[in-house]
Structure formats: structure tokens, C-alpha cells
Amino acid sequence: MSTTVKRIIILGVIIAVAFVLGRLAVRAALNMLLGGTLFGGNFL
Amino acid sequence: MSKNKKEKKVRAVPVGIGILVFIVAFGAGVISKFTIQPSWAKEYSVEWSDEVGTLKADLSYGDGEANKFDLYLPKDSSRESYGLVVYLHAGGFTSGDKTDDRDTLAWLCSKGYVAAGINYTLRTETNTASVLSQSNEIKAAVPKVVEAAEAAGYPVDKMTVAGGSAGHCLAMIYAYRDGKDAPVPVVFTYGAVGPSCFVAEDWGVFGIGYDTDESRTAGAALFSVMSGESITPEEMQDGSYLEKMHAIAAAEWVQYNPVPTVVAYGTQDKVQPFLASLRLKAALEESGVDYKYFELPHSGHGLQNDNDIQRQWMEAVSEYLNQYMPTEAGGSK
């Protein structure tokens, strides 16, 4: 596997993790204001 | 430049790109949470246009500055009679406006109903507006809404009253307490997360209902503002405050005028007490009226974490509207 392919895969993982964390951060903030659980219910 | 320094610089570039990509993707995740709606939600929201009907805005129903309503009249004006849906806005009794629910009112209008959004005098630091005075304003407004619809050529023969949060509280009070005096039969009420009764022990989310002077003082202050009556910490202790809260405790009025009901509550709600909704559920059950009660176990005041149950709730609203206010009932003129 070339270095470029490895870097693309790593970037893909970073994008997926960051996107999920962004959604979780909003959910956590809304839960603090309105009430709610961090997990369960809708996916994210 | 030494060889080591060159290697460090070469490694730093992809790390920098990685951090940048993380920040951008994180931001996209945040934005997506606000902008991407479940596909089913679009079915219950319509963008207003002349194709949907006619909007008569800011019609007056009283002397107060806030005593105004918007009337959404459906495109088809050929029927002998119409169902009216009054939808009351949210905002904790202190904020909000009838235009906040424009898409919901447009959706109701697109289904063939006369729809109305009514403003009420909001509580501020300089006035004495209360839930009681707001509920009385709604009571005064409904006959004017019906009159205005009739004057525009849309005779109303039955109605639904609905709302969200504070608006839901006022909708329930109108349905169960004032429904018998309504100019047309109130055949259905729906809404979400509206406080339905004021038993102190349910209001732990506000620090009320505990056996301390501080809790009783807080309870007396909050309930005084809401009821428009002067309630003391002593009355909180001996339970006599309940009499003063009765006028705005919708759950206590269900038995006098049970109206078919669809409601939804989040069990994690921090803005209004979920426990109070269980008293509403018990009252509906005891009355024998046709009702549906949805509990969203992962959600709070925004019903934000249980899309599937929220969808079921809106499907039930639609089903009950079709059952109790079929749009073809009036026939053609």
C-alpha cells in the first residue's frame, strides 16, 4: 500500500470520526439545555 | 537546513492537513444536525404561498397590543362548512409569536382547514401577565376567530386546539376548561410538552417540591407568576396552593370536558416536568376519552432524540384530524 493510499484512508477515518463527534456535540449541548440522553434513540 | 529539520517539515504537512480536515468535518457534523430533517417531517410542514390559500394577518381580538391573530384560509372556498385548527405558539409564556408556526399553519391550511395562530400577552418584567390571563385571552379570541372566518366566507362548524410547550398548555386549558363555552364544538386537541398540572412534587426540575424553606419559597414565586395569584411558602407547605393553581391545571379539567387528545412528552425534559404529564395521562385514562399518549424515552423538551416515536406522534395527529375533522364533511356549497 503506497503512502498516498494510507493517507487517504486516514483522512477518511478522520472525516467520519469528526463528523460523528460534531453531531454528538450538538446532541450533548441540546441535552444540557432541554434534557435528553447522549446515546439511544436516533442514531446520533 | 539539516536533514532532520527537513523530515520534520515533511511530516508536519500531513498532520496539519489532518487537523484542518477534522475541523471542517466536525463543523459539517454540527451544521448537519441543525439542517438535515427526517424525510417524514417534511410531510407536516408546508411553505406558505398563494397556492395554499389566503392569509389574513394581524386581525384584532381585543384591546391589548398582543391581541392579534392570523387566519389561514384554504384555497377551496366552496364548502358549506370548515374545521378550524387553532395552533398556539411556544415560548415559555414569555416569548414567541404566531408567525413561528407559519409552516405548521400552512400545512393545516393545505389539508383544507381554516387555521389560526393567536398571539397572547407575554409575561415580562413590567407586566402581570400569567398563564391564567393568557388562557383567558385565548378564550376571548376564539369566538372572534370563528366570526372572522365566517365573514370571509368560511363557516366553521367544529374545531381543534393545539400547540407546543406553553402553547400546548394553553391549548389544553382551552379544550378541557373552556371547550364547553366554545362557539363551535372542540372535537380534538393535540400538542407536545405542555405543562398540564402544578403539583409541587412533580416540579423537581425547578428545585420545587423539596422539604426546605428555599424550595417552598421558589415554588411560591414560580407558581404565583404562573397562576396570577399570590401564593406564599406557607401555602406551598400546607398544600392550599393547589386550589389557586386549579384554573390553569389542564389535567384537573379533563373530567369536566374530555376531548379526544394526542400528546407527546420527553421523559428527560428539563424545561417542564415529565411527571406532571403522567397525571394528565391518568386523567385521560380515567375519563374514558379517546386519546394517545407518546413517551419519548431519550428526549427532553425538544423531543429531539426519538425520531421514530415523534413520527408516530405526528401520524396519530394526522389520523385524529382525519377522524374528528374530516375535510370532506361539509360537502360543497
- Same domain as B100, residue B180: yes
Identify all chain A residues contacting B304, using CB atoms and an 8 Å cutoff.
Answer: 27, 30, 34, 36
The last residue of a domain, from among B248, B265, B286? B248
Residue B122 near residue B95, CB atoms below 8 Å: yes
Residue B178 near residue B139, CB atoms below 8 Å: yes
- Same domain as B317, residue B185: yes
Residue A42 confidence (pLDDT):
85
Share of chain B above pLDDT 90, in %: 92
Q: Is the pLDDT of residue B332 over 70?
A: no
The model carries a pTM of: 0.92
Identify all chain A residues contacting B20, using CB atoms and an 8 Å cutoff.
Answer: none
Query: Distance between CA B162 and CA B156 in Å, rounded?
Result: 17
pLDDT, tens digit (0-9, with 9 covering 90-100), for A1-44: 788 899 899 999 999 999 999 999 999 999 999 999 999 998 77
The ipTM, to two decimals, is 0.94
Residue A1 confidence (pLDDT):
76
Whether residue B138 lies inside any domain: the answer is yes
What residues make up the domain containing B272?
31-197+249-324
Give residues with Cβ within 8 angstroms of B300, minimum separation 6.
A30, A31, A33, A34, A35, A36, B266, B268, B269, B270, B271
Partners of residue B60 on adjacent β-strands: B68
Residue B139 confidence (pLDDT):
98
Whether residue B330 lies inside any domain: the answer is no
- Same domain as B108, residue B40: yes
B134, three cell numbers: 393568557
- Same domain as B299, residue B151: yes
Whether residue B214 lies inside any domain: the answer is yes
Query: Distance between CA B85 and CA B212 in Å, rounded?
Result: 44
Q: Count structural domains, chain B.
A: 2
Give residues with Cβ within 8 angstroms of B134, minimum separation 6.
B93, B120, B121, B170
- Same domain as B188, residue B78: yes
Q: Helix, strand, or coil here: B265? A: strand
Whether residue B54 lies inside any domain: the answer is yes
Average pLDDT over residues B60-68: 96
Query: Distance between CA A5 and CA B187 in Å, rounded?
Result: 64
- Same domain as B170, residue B62: yes
- Residue from B10, B15, B22, B268 to probe the interface with A (highest A Cβ count within 10 Å): B22
How many other β-carbons are positioned within 10 Å of the β-carbon of residue B225? 17
- Residue from B304, B306, B311 to probe the interface with A (highest A Cβ count within 10 Å): B304
Whether residue B329 lies inside any domain: the answer is no
- Same domain as B219, residue B255: no
- Same domain as B134, residue B84: yes
pLDDT, tens digit (0-9, with 9 covering 90-100), for B19-62: 999 999 999 999 999 998 888 999 999 999 999 999 999 999 99
Give me the residue from B30, B34, B298 closest to A40, CB to CB. Answer: B298
Nearest CA in chain B to A31: B300
Q: Which residue has the higher pLDDT, A44 or B95?
A: B95
- Same domain as B265, residue B296: yes
- Please tell me the distance in Å from B294's CA to the nearest CA on chain A: 14
Cβ–Cβ contact A40 with B under 8 A: yes
Q: Helix, strand, or coil here: B222? A: helix
Q: Do A34 and B300 touch (CB under 8 A)?
A: yes
